[in-house]
Structure 1
Amino acid sequence: MQSLQDALYNWLTIKVVCDARPDDAAAIETREFFEEILSTQHHVSNIEITQDDVMYYVSYQQGDGTKKVRYPRELIEIMINQINQEPEKYRDYPMD
């Protein structure tokens, strides 16, 4: 089982990609995969994201409580930055 911290990190990273590439089926499927992990393995719901110049802040419901974590933007945006720097390597696979 993937740790909650890792699952949130991976989900947020691919969510940033999905937000920038809303027609990319591979990115959407990957985001949905991590959403399933968060929901079924970690019982996470009601995820909300905010950000500032330095960090992403993620709050979520787990059990009876609301929890918060934060991630540096440079770590979360590494994948979308790579895609933007070398778009020829990352084709956009639209949904059929």
Structure 2
Amino acid sequence: MVQRANPTAHFRLIIADGKVYIEKFRKTFQTRDVYTIWGILQLLRWYPGRLPGLELMFDCDDSPVIQSSDYRAPNSSTPPPLFACCGSESTMDIAFPAWSFWGW
């Protein structure tokens, strides 16, 4: 399910045993990926041992990409879980604090 977000994701972030692993897929605008990763690292520092193992995909562009209309049919698959800086009424991207939130 997570892998289906790969076509639009900029990077994958994995937390395992309190460590962060990053796989970058494509370059982001300015430093949006760096500050998103930095925000996760701060959470690990502030709450050591309290973040569960996770695998997340992030899109750092301004426009959300997972269209709700693509998943309305009765037999359609579930939308890929993609975290993004932006969202809208017609999309299903999971809003995550933008790079400016973390202290640009």
TM-score, normalised via structure 1 length: 0.30
Higher helix proportion, which one? 1
TM-score, normalised via structure 2 length: 0.28
